[in-house]
Amino acid sequence: MSRTARVGVLVSGRGSNLQTLLDAAADPWFPADITVVVSNVPGAFALERAAAAGVPALTIDHRGRGRAEFEAELLAALSDVDIVCLAGFMRVLTPGFLNAFPNRVLNIHPALLPAFPGLHGPAQALAAGVTQAGATCHLVDAGVDTGPILAQGSVPVLPGDTEESLAARILPLEHRLFPLGLRWLAEGRVTVTDRRAQVALQPGESRWLSFSPPA
């Protein structure tokens, strides 16, 4: 099957969400190819994941240069891609970068947005005393985790949860939602009107997922 979208992935750390995209793209029926991985952190383990999958990978260190110069180098590295995925990329992108990929930058966040944006979503959820936490796959805009939502899912908050235990329960949900959102975007099934995303769902698909804790 011919692929319909070329995808660049920006990373900063371990790259577990990158791995889910690489695994999804290994299926010849998946509608996108991961064609380049870029890290802003030298030595990030995500670069090893890319190399193991045979995907070109490079580092563009944000330190010691201005934001405009950094993003210009990012754009040059991503000049041949159609969609950009942020897989644990710990930098806020400016409108100048985002305008090069209108409604084609995708992120996964470990919280049920619009609640708990920014860093440490699971810790914020615990501090707020909620009974359900979760993850959100969304398009990226100039705000911090404020872009149009494609899909979400929830997990229960259990007695005795810590930030680490709750984050670990959310992570498998992220791994399901991120490839799903990328599939929809690559297949051209996402439209955005007045900051709201609409998805042309096929039978059996849902924009909401939920996990139950193991017995």
Tens of pLDDT along 15-68?
A: 999 999 999 999 999 999 999 999 999 999 999 999 999 999 999 999 988 999
Q: Specify whether the CB–CB gap between 168 and 81 falls below 8 A.
A: no
Which two three-digit tokens encode residue 65? 């240069």
Residue indicated by tokens 């949860």:
161
The four Cα atoms 82, 139, 171, 93 give a dihedral, to 10 degrees, of: 80
Other Cβ atoms closer than 10 A to 36: 21
- Specify the CATH number for the domain of residue 162: 3.40.50.170
In this predicted structure, the answer to whether residue 1 has a pLDDT above a threshold of 60 is no
For residue 78, is it within any domain? yes
- Residue 96 to residue 40: CA distance in whole angstroms: 18
Classify residue 64: in a domain, yes or no: yes
Global pTM reads 0.95
Quote the number of domains for the chain: 1
φ, ψ of residue 85 to 5 degrees: the values are: -110, 135
In a domain, 183, yes or no: yes
Decide if pLDDT at 97 tops 80.
yes
215 is a domain residue: no
Q: Please report, in angstroms and rounded to a whole number, the separation of the first and last CA atoms in the chain.
A: 40
Containing structural domain, residue 30: 5-210
Question: Under a CB-based contact definition with an 8 Å cutoff, are residues 93 and 107 in contact?
Answer: no
Nearest to 142 by CA among 198, 95, 109, 85: 95
Residues designated as active site: 109
Provide the pLDDT for residue 215. Answer: 41
Residue in this structure with the two tokens 């996964």, named with its chain if needed: 108
Q: Give the residue-averaged pLDDT of 112-116.
A: 98
What would you measure as the largest C-alpha separation in the chain, in angstroms?
51
Work out the average pLDDT over 2-25: 94
Residue 115 belongs to some domain of the structure: yes
pLDDT range class, residue 74, cuts 50, 70, 90: very high
Residue 90 has pLDDT above 50, yes or no: yes
